[in-house]
Protein backbone atom coordinates (compact mmCIF):
# COMPACT_ATOMS: atom_id res chain seq x y z
CA UNK A 1 0.00 0.00 0.00
CA UNK A 2 1.38 3.40 -0.96
CA UNK A 3 0.89 6.25 1.49
CA UNK A 4 0.79 9.91 0.47
CA UNK A 5 0.35 13.31 2.10
CA UNK A 6 -1.33 13.28 5.51
CA UNK A 7 -1.48 9.48 5.45
CA UNK A 8 2.30 9.44 5.86
CA UNK A 9 2.25 11.82 8.84
CA UNK A 10 -0.44 9.75 10.58
CA UNK A 11 1.37 6.48 10.03
CA UNK A 12 4.70 7.85 11.21
CA UNK A 13 3.12 9.18 14.39
CA UNK A 14 1.41 5.85 15.14
CA UNK A 15 2.48 2.87 12.99
CA UNK A 16 -0.44 0.49 12.42
CA UNK A 17 0.40 -2.93 13.96
CA UNK A 18 -1.35 -4.54 10.97
CA UNK A 19 1.37 -3.14 8.71
CA UNK A 20 4.36 -5.42 9.29
CA UNK A 21 6.81 -3.99 6.77
CA UNK A 22 7.61 -0.50 5.48
CA UNK A 23 9.63 0.53 2.44
CA UNK A 24 11.11 4.02 2.81
CA UNK A 25 12.57 5.14 -0.51
CA UNK A 26 13.40 8.20 -2.57
CA UNK A 27 16.25 10.57 -3.48
CA UNK A 28 16.18 12.65 -0.27
CA UNK A 29 18.45 10.66 2.02
CA UNK A 30 17.97 13.08 4.90
CA UNK A 31 14.18 12.74 4.77
CA UNK A 32 14.52 8.93 4.60
CA UNK A 33 16.64 8.94 7.75
CA UNK A 34 14.22 11.30 9.49
CA UNK A 35 11.22 9.07 8.74
CA UNK A 36 13.07 5.89 9.67
CA UNK A 37 13.95 7.50 13.02
CA UNK A 38 10.28 8.46 13.51
CA UNK A 39 9.20 4.88 12.86
CA UNK A 40 11.82 3.55 15.27
CA UNK A 41 10.71 6.00 17.97
CA UNK A 42 7.11 4.84 17.53
CA UNK A 43 8.05 1.21 18.15
CA UNK A 44 10.82 1.16 20.77
CA UNK A 45 11.68 3.40 23.72
CA UNK A 46 15.45 2.95 23.51
CA UNK A 47 16.91 2.95 19.96
CA UNK A 48 20.20 1.67 21.38
CA UNK A 49 18.71 -1.47 22.95
CA UNK A 50 20.13 -4.44 20.99
CA UNK A 51 17.27 -6.64 22.18
CA UNK A 52 14.71 -4.30 20.58
CA UNK A 53 16.56 -2.98 17.53
CA UNK A 54 18.35 -4.90 14.82
CA UNK A 55 19.95 -3.88 11.53
CA UNK A 56 20.62 -6.00 8.47
CA UNK A 57 22.25 -5.22 5.16
CA UNK A 58 21.13 -6.36 1.73
CA UNK A 59 24.35 -8.40 1.50
CA UNK A 60 23.54 -10.28 4.72
CA UNK A 61 20.06 -11.15 3.46
CA UNK A 62 21.44 -12.29 0.12
CA UNK A 63 23.88 -14.59 1.92
CA UNK A 64 21.21 -15.93 4.30
CA UNK A 65 17.62 -15.11 3.18
CA UNK A 66 16.12 -16.86 6.23
CA UNK A 67 17.75 -14.32 8.53
CA UNK A 68 15.11 -11.71 7.66
CA UNK A 69 12.33 -13.89 9.07
CA UNK A 70 14.50 -14.91 12.02
CA UNK A 71 15.08 -11.30 13.05
CA UNK A 72 11.40 -10.43 12.60
CA UNK A 73 10.33 -13.41 14.77
CA UNK A 74 12.88 -12.84 17.54
CA UNK A 75 11.55 -11.85 20.97
CA UNK A 76 12.59 -8.80 22.97
CA UNK A 77 14.22 -9.25 26.37
CA UNK A 78 11.53 -7.42 28.35
CA UNK A 79 8.56 -7.75 26.02
CA UNK A 80 7.27 -5.34 23.39
CA UNK A 81 7.72 -4.97 19.66
CA UNK A 82 11.06 -5.17 17.86
CA UNK A 83 12.31 -2.84 15.15
CA UNK A 84 14.32 -4.31 12.28
CA UNK A 85 16.02 -2.06 9.73
CA UNK A 86 17.23 -3.39 6.38
CA UNK A 87 19.83 -1.18 4.70
CA UNK A 88 20.41 -0.83 0.94
CA UNK A 89 17.17 -2.55 -0.05
CA UNK A 90 16.94 -3.07 -3.81
CA UNK A 91 15.13 -5.08 -6.48
CA UNK A 92 17.53 -7.98 -6.05
CA UNK A 93 15.77 -8.91 -2.81
CA UNK A 94 12.20 -8.68 -4.16
CA UNK A 95 11.64 -12.45 -4.16
CA UNK A 96 12.87 -12.72 -0.57
CA UNK A 97 10.65 -9.81 0.50
CA UNK A 98 7.56 -11.31 -1.17
CA UNK A 99 8.16 -14.59 0.62
CA UNK A 100 8.56 -12.72 3.91
CA UNK A 101 5.35 -10.72 3.39
CA UNK A 102 3.37 -13.91 2.72
CA UNK A 103 4.42 -15.42 6.06
CA UNK A 104 5.29 -12.31 8.15
CA UNK A 105 6.48 -14.14 11.28
CA UNK A 106 6.65 -12.45 14.67
CA UNK A 107 5.44 -8.98 15.62
CA UNK A 108 8.40 -6.81 14.61
CA UNK A 109 8.13 -3.78 12.38
CA UNK A 110 10.59 -4.35 9.53
CA UNK A 111 11.69 -1.18 7.70
CA UNK A 112 13.52 -1.31 4.39
CA UNK A 113 15.69 1.67 3.41
CA UNK A 114 15.37 1.52 -0.37
CA UNK A 115 17.25 4.52 -1.72
CA UNK A 116 16.10 6.18 -4.95
CA UNK A 117 14.04 3.38 -6.51
CA UNK A 118 12.49 4.13 -9.95
CA UNK A 119 8.79 3.76 -10.70
CA UNK A 120 9.38 0.43 -12.44
CA UNK A 121 11.07 -1.04 -9.34
CA UNK A 122 9.81 -4.54 -8.54
CA UNK A 123 10.47 -3.91 -4.84
CA UNK A 124 8.26 -0.82 -4.87
CA UNK A 125 5.50 -2.71 -6.65
CA UNK A 126 5.72 -5.52 -4.09
CA UNK A 127 5.12 -3.11 -1.20
CA UNK A 128 2.50 -1.01 -2.98
CA UNK A 129 0.49 -4.11 -3.85
CA UNK A 130 0.51 -5.78 -0.42
CA UNK A 131 -2.05 -4.85 2.26
CA UNK A 132 0.31 -5.78 5.10
CA UNK A 133 3.06 -3.51 3.78
CA UNK A 134 3.52 0.22 3.30
CA UNK A 135 5.59 2.23 0.82
CA UNK A 136 6.59 5.79 1.74
CA UNK A 137 8.28 8.04 -0.82
CA UNK A 138 10.86 10.64 0.24
CA UNK A 139 11.30 13.24 -2.49
CA UNK A 140 13.20 16.50 -2.26
CA UNK A 141 11.21 19.34 -0.76
CA UNK A 142 9.88 21.95 -3.15
CA UNK A 143 9.73 25.59 -2.13
CA UNK A 144 6.26 25.25 -0.61
CA UNK A 145 7.11 22.22 1.50
CA UNK A 146 10.41 23.77 2.64
CA UNK A 147 8.45 26.83 3.78
CA UNK A 148 6.17 24.55 5.82
CA UNK A 149 9.19 22.82 7.38
CA UNK A 150 10.69 26.22 8.28
CA UNK A 151 7.46 27.52 9.84
CA UNK A 152 6.86 24.31 11.80
CA UNK A 153 10.45 24.20 13.04
CA UNK A 154 10.42 27.71 14.49
CA UNK A 155 6.86 27.39 15.80
CA UNK A 156 7.91 24.30 17.74
CA UNK A 157 10.99 26.15 19.02
CA UNK A 158 8.82 29.09 20.12
CA UNK A 159 10.50 31.67 17.88
CA UNK A 160 8.54 34.02 15.62
CA UNK A 161 9.80 34.31 12.04
CA UNK A 162 8.98 37.01 9.51
CA UNK A 163 7.50 36.07 6.14
CA UNK A 164 10.51 37.45 4.24
CA UNK A 165 12.79 35.17 6.27
CA UNK A 166 10.60 32.17 5.44
CA UNK A 167 10.75 33.10 1.75
CA UNK A 168 14.54 33.41 1.82
CA UNK A 169 15.04 30.09 3.60
CA UNK A 170 12.55 28.31 1.33
CA UNK A 171 14.53 29.47 -1.67
CA UNK A 172 17.91 28.39 -0.32
CA UNK A 173 17.20 25.15 1.51
CA UNK A 174 15.58 21.88 0.51
CA UNK A 175 18.20 19.75 -1.26
CA UNK A 176 18.22 17.37 1.69
CA UNK A 177 15.85 17.41 4.68
CA UNK A 178 18.60 16.60 7.18
CA UNK A 179 20.80 19.43 5.88
CA UNK A 180 17.80 21.76 6.01
CA UNK A 181 17.17 20.97 9.66
CA UNK A 182 20.85 21.35 10.49
CA UNK A 183 20.84 24.85 8.98
CA UNK A 184 17.65 25.77 10.87
CA UNK A 185 19.19 24.54 14.13
CA UNK A 186 22.26 26.66 13.45
CA UNK A 187 20.05 29.67 12.77
CA UNK A 188 18.08 29.09 15.98
CA UNK A 189 21.30 28.92 17.98
CA UNK A 190 22.53 32.12 16.31
CA UNK A 191 19.30 34.02 16.94
CA UNK A 192 18.24 32.73 20.34
CA UNK A 193 14.74 33.05 21.78
CA UNK A 194 14.98 36.41 23.52
CA UNK A 195 15.82 38.83 20.71
CA UNK A 196 12.59 39.27 18.77
CA UNK A 197 11.35 37.71 15.52
CA UNK A 198 13.79 36.13 13.09
CA UNK A 199 14.25 38.43 10.10
CA UNK A 200 15.41 37.94 6.52
CA UNK A 201 18.62 39.74 7.46
CA UNK A 202 19.22 37.15 10.20
CA UNK A 203 18.62 34.35 7.72
CA UNK A 204 20.95 35.84 5.11
CA UNK A 205 23.66 36.45 7.67
CA UNK A 206 23.59 32.90 9.02
CA UNK A 207 22.60 30.78 6.03
CA UNK A 208 23.87 33.03 3.25
CA UNK A 209 27.45 31.77 3.53
CA UNK A 210 26.55 28.14 4.17
CA UNK A 211 27.40 25.21 1.95
CA UNK A 212 23.77 25.07 0.82
CA UNK A 213 24.33 28.19 -1.27
CA UNK A 214 26.59 26.06 -3.46
CA UNK A 215 23.39 25.40 -5.40
CA UNK A 216 23.21 29.14 -6.13
CA UNK A 217 26.82 29.03 -7.29
CA UNK A 218 25.93 26.27 -9.76
CA UNK A 219 22.93 28.20 -11.08
CA UNK A 220 24.81 31.49 -11.40
CA UNK A 221 27.80 29.88 -13.12
CA UNK A 222 25.53 28.02 -15.54
CA UNK A 223 23.55 31.12 -16.53
CA UNK A 224 26.72 33.22 -16.81
CA UNK A 225 28.49 30.69 -19.02
CA UNK A 226 31.33 30.47 -16.50
CA UNK A 227 32.59 26.95 -17.27
CA UNK A 228 35.49 26.99 -14.82
CA UNK A 229 33.30 28.32 -12.02
CA UNK A 230 30.62 25.77 -12.84
CA UNK A 231 33.11 22.92 -12.67
CA UNK A 232 34.26 24.06 -9.22
CA UNK A 233 30.69 24.55 -7.96
CA UNK A 234 29.60 21.13 -9.23
CA UNK A 235 32.53 19.44 -7.53
CA UNK A 236 31.72 21.16 -4.26
CA UNK A 237 28.00 20.34 -4.48
CA UNK A 238 28.58 16.66 -5.17
CA UNK A 239 31.16 16.42 -2.37
CA UNK A 240 28.59 17.96 0.01
CA UNK A 241 26.11 15.22 -0.89
CA UNK A 242 23.65 17.24 -2.96
CA UNK A 243 21.57 14.98 -5.20
CA UNK A 244 22.06 15.55 -8.96
CA UNK A 245 18.33 16.16 -9.48
CA UNK A 246 18.37 18.87 -6.80
CA UNK A 247 21.05 20.70 -8.81
CA UNK A 248 19.00 20.52 -11.99
CA UNK A 249 15.95 21.84 -10.17
CA UNK A 250 17.93 24.66 -8.55
CA UNK A 251 19.14 25.78 -11.98
CA UNK A 252 15.61 25.45 -13.38
CA UNK A 253 14.25 27.68 -10.59
CA UNK A 254 16.98 30.20 -11.37
CA UNK A 255 16.01 30.31 -15.04
CA UNK A 256 12.33 30.65 -14.12
CA UNK A 257 13.20 33.69 -12.02
CA UNK A 258 15.25 35.16 -14.87
CA UNK A 259 12.25 34.62 -17.16
CA UNK A 260 9.94 36.34 -14.67
CA UNK A 261 12.20 39.39 -14.44
CA UNK A 262 12.78 39.51 -18.21
CA UNK A 263 9.01 39.43 -18.77
CA UNK A 264 8.45 42.30 -16.37
CA UNK A 265 11.20 44.34 -18.03
CA UNK A 266 9.63 43.70 -21.45
CA UNK A 267 6.37 45.09 -20.04
CA UNK A 268 8.09 48.31 -19.03
CA UNK A 269 9.28 47.66 -15.47
CA UNK A 270 12.83 48.62 -14.51
CA UNK A 271 15.03 45.57 -13.98
CA UNK A 272 15.86 46.56 -10.38
CA UNK A 273 12.16 46.92 -9.55
CA UNK A 274 11.35 43.60 -11.21
CA UNK A 275 14.04 41.89 -9.15
CA UNK A 276 12.58 43.34 -5.94
CA UNK A 277 9.32 41.56 -6.77
CA UNK A 278 10.91 38.11 -6.65
CA UNK A 279 10.14 35.81 -3.73
CA UNK A 280 12.43 34.80 -2.19
CA UNK A 281 14.45 37.93 -2.95
CA UNK A 282 17.73 37.69 -4.84
CA UNK A 283 20.61 37.22 -2.40
CA UNK A 284 22.42 40.56 -2.25
CA UNK A 285 25.80 39.05 -3.15
CA UNK A 286 24.30 37.65 -6.36
CA UNK A 287 22.28 40.69 -7.40
CA UNK A 288 24.76 42.06 -9.95
CA UNK A 289 25.21 38.69 -11.67
CA UNK A 290 21.46 38.06 -11.71
CA UNK A 291 20.79 41.48 -13.25
CA UNK A 292 23.31 40.82 -16.03
CA UNK A 293 21.78 37.41 -16.75
CA UNK A 294 18.24 38.78 -16.85
CA UNK A 295 19.40 41.26 -19.48
CA UNK A 296 21.38 38.72 -21.52
CA UNK A 297 19.02 35.75 -21.82
CA UNK A 298 16.30 35.99 -24.52
CA UNK A 299 13.09 34.02 -24.12
CA UNK A 300 13.92 31.47 -26.82
CA UNK A 301 17.27 30.61 -25.24
CA UNK A 302 15.62 30.25 -21.82
CA UNK A 303 13.11 27.78 -23.30
CA UNK A 304 15.91 25.70 -24.81
CA UNK A 305 17.80 25.64 -21.51
CA UNK A 306 14.67 24.67 -19.52
CA UNK A 307 13.91 21.81 -21.93
CA UNK A 308 17.46 20.52 -21.57
CA UNK A 309 17.12 20.58 -17.77
CA UNK A 310 13.86 18.62 -17.93
CA UNK A 311 15.41 16.08 -20.29
CA UNK A 312 18.42 15.68 -18.01
CA UNK A 313 16.19 15.07 -14.96
CA UNK A 314 14.19 12.46 -16.86
CA UNK A 315 17.44 10.79 -17.99
CA UNK A 316 18.72 10.68 -14.40
CA UNK A 317 15.59 8.77 -13.38
CA UNK A 318 15.48 6.26 -16.22
CA UNK A 319 19.06 5.86 -17.46
CA UNK A 320 21.72 3.48 -16.23
CA UNK A 321 24.38 6.19 -16.61
CA UNK A 322 25.61 7.93 -13.43
CA UNK A 323 23.26 10.80 -12.56
CA UNK A 324 26.18 13.06 -11.65
CA UNK A 325 27.65 12.62 -15.13
CA UNK A 326 24.33 13.35 -16.84
CA UNK A 327 23.78 16.43 -14.70
CA UNK A 328 27.27 17.84 -15.24
CA UNK A 329 27.04 17.27 -18.99
CA UNK A 330 23.68 19.05 -19.29
CA UNK A 331 24.77 22.05 -17.22
CA UNK A 332 28.07 22.36 -19.07
CA UNK A 333 26.22 22.35 -22.41
CA UNK A 334 23.86 25.10 -21.21
CA UNK A 335 26.75 27.16 -19.86
CA UNK A 336 28.75 26.74 -23.07
CA UNK A 337 25.84 28.26 -25.00
CA UNK A 338 24.94 30.98 -22.51
CA UNK A 339 24.26 34.34 -24.26
CA UNK A 340 26.37 36.21 -21.72
CA UNK A 341 29.36 33.86 -21.88
CA UNK A 342 31.64 36.05 -23.97
CA UNK A 343 30.94 39.11 -21.86
CA UNK A 344 31.60 37.10 -18.69
CA UNK A 345 34.93 35.87 -20.07
CA UNK A 346 36.03 39.41 -20.92
Residues 167 and 218 in one domain: no
Mean pLDDT of the region 79-100? 90
Residues 95 and 124 in one domain: yes
Domain assignment present for 96: yes
* Predicted local confidence at residue 229, as pLDDT: 87
Select from 114, 137, 160 the last residue of a domain: 137
> How does residue 319 score in pLDDT terms, banded at 50, 70 and 90?
low
Q: Is the pLDDT of residue 29 over 70?
A: yes
* Predicted local confidence at residue 269, as pLDDT: 85
Q: Is the pLDDT of residue 209 over 70?
A: no
Residues 98 and 150 in one domain: no
Whole-number average pLDDT of the chain: 85
> How does residue 341 score in pLDDT terms, banded at 50, 70 and 90?
low
Mean pLDDT of the region 54-62? 92
Q: Is the pLDDT of residue 213 over 60?
A: no
* Predicted local confidence at residue 172, as pLDDT: 72
Select from 137, 160, 194 the last residue of a domain: 137
Pick 192 or 345 by higher pLDDT.
192
Q: What is the 3-state secondary structure (H, E, C) of the chain?
A: CEECCHHHHHHHHCCCCCCCEEEEECCCHHHHHHHHHHHHHHHCCCCCCCCCEEEEEHHHHHHCCHHHHHHHHCCCCCCCCCEEEEECCCHHHHHHHHHHHHHCCCCCEEEEEEECCCCCCHHHHHHHCCCCEEEEECCCCCHHHHHHHHHHHHHHHCCCECHHHHHHHHHHCCCCHHHHHHHHHHHHHHHCCCCCCECHHHHHHHHCCCHHHHHHHHHHHHHHCCHHHHHHHHHHHHHCCCCHHHHHHHHHHHHHHHHHHHHHHHCCCCHHHHHHCCCCCCCHHHHHHHHHHHHHCCHHHHHHHHHHHHHHHHHHHHCCCCHHHHHHHHHHHHHHCCCCHHHHHC
Residues 122 and 177 in one domain: no
Pick 213 or 187 by higher pLDDT.
187
Residues 49 and 171 in one domain: no
Domain assignment present for 14: yes
Domain with residue 196: its CATH number is: 1.10.8.60
Q: How many domains does the chain have?
A: 3
Domain assignment present for 345: no
> How does residue 343 score in pLDDT terms, banded at 50, 70 and 90?
very low
Residues 15 and 115 in one domain: yes
Mean pLDDT of the region 159-164? 90
Domain with residue 52: its CATH number is: 3.40.50.300
> How does residue 339 score in pLDDT terms, banded at 50, 70 and 90?
confident
* Predicted local confidence at residue 344, as pLDDT: 44
**Parent domain of 169:** 143-209
Q: Which of 1-5, 103-107, 155-159, 267-271 is predicted with the least confidence, judged by mean pLDDT?
A: 103-107
Domain assignment present for 346: no
* Predicted local confidence at residue 21, as pLDDT: 93
* Predicted local confidence at residue 244, as pLDDT: 85
- What is the percent of the chain where pLDDT is above 70? 94
Amino acid sequence: MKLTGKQVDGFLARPDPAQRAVLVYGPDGGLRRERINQLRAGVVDDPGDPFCVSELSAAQIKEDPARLSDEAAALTFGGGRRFVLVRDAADAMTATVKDFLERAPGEALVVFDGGDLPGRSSLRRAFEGDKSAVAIACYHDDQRSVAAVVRDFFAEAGLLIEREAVDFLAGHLGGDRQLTRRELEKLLLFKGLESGPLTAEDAEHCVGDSALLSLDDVALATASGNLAGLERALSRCFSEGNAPVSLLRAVARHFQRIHQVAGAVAAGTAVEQAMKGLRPPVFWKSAASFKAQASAWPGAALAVAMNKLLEAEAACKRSGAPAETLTARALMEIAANAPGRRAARR
